Structure 1
């Protein structure tokens, strides 16, 4: 059965067919879509398949009671974000406390007061929708805060965060293995050659577009989800390559230099006649803290050698 994205879907879970029918009729009159499950196992399967907007869950059912079912529902994907309204014939303090402890958002008692049920369903769906919109907005803001607006790749802040996460992942990996195998991590630090002269000659607007072109050229080379391309600052770019050896990183650096040359962005104040990039490649055994803490500095040393050598090339350093 296919449900409209605009009309909330309610999953009704109750072992009594008459109660399910009453709930269905009442809720459909309010304009909701309704799906049914007659026990906890059916509820768990229906939840995963249908991803309802809210669950109306009977507390007293055979095999898996409502409290246990609620606990398991909350552990499913999107379970934490889906409100569960417990329907119970128990109104003692212990039962009410148990309902909230297992994750129920609210409860109503039997016999059901239909006006109260309708209002609570409407409120819970509304609150859930607001929460989802808020989380989506926060994700969008977080993404914006991580993107360099000029080049449309990750910014320095995102790079610093990702490098920190990678350090933590490597520490966990060290504890998880006892074989002592090296954990390789590579980084490429690139710098557009004679970019100040380019800006002085063509103006900052052209310079901004040049930065965008180079960023996109670098991104076109780096395809693995685990890799990160970021603007490090000014005309500098950085590529973080987890689980990559020196040969693999050198191959990526060579492709980056080739792709930037292929742009053929004119640069009359540079002997090459067009924009190029120099790059420094660092590869470390990330198990050693000294290398991790100095990864960018090691790549910067290799970049300096590339600039001293001839520019429009890359140099590597392994530690």
Structure 2
């Protein structure tokens, strides 16, 4: 089951695919994507019959819906998995067969180690077919430290928080830039950034939100603070604690497979999740937390 951070990136990309297109073209000038041409969300159901259906995280097209000139696929990957790399090459082949144009597959990775892994051309069983994805990691996401840039491109600023949120200059600019947006937009992009951030950065965002430097009297701040800290819904507390457990494991470089991730996120016992978060600091394997 995808993590809250994974879903956060996926939703942010759906909101602003143009931001990823610009990052792709900044890294690979030969990519067959035009960064200023609108991208239209397309179906992410792919197949290579008679094999099986595939579902990349996001698929967008440019040009005519029936005969697109370009296709952009965005995948979010947190860990280095060879099986996932091979799947990316299949996405590209299936889209080429369906649309008859060369797709661009961008792999957005919160960690640079994962981005470096996915940035290499992917070999396949088909002789001569090696697919080169475009991996976007922290090194490829600029540090947005100017409030004006945040206001102009809040999606990029949210990705900057994901990649560089440990820098207070990034967080300060992000919050200041949000204050220049309409309430609905500022709330939306704060939530994106919060979902994408590590647990440590989430705590920093909350501290800034409730400090004297942030205008807590604004409708946006009241809405967020009331939603995040005062409503007290059990579902929200357990979801955040589950995300903490996963963040701690990933921060220590421990692989979290789908079964382990699903068991963590499905747990609604706050005390058990607390015990797992403590165990996550010392276990040798992610699944060992369940013995706590």
Same fold (TM over 0.5): no
Larger Rg: 1
Select the structure that is richer in strand. Answer: 1
TM-score where L is the length of structure 1: 0.24
TM-score where L is the length of structure 2: 0.25
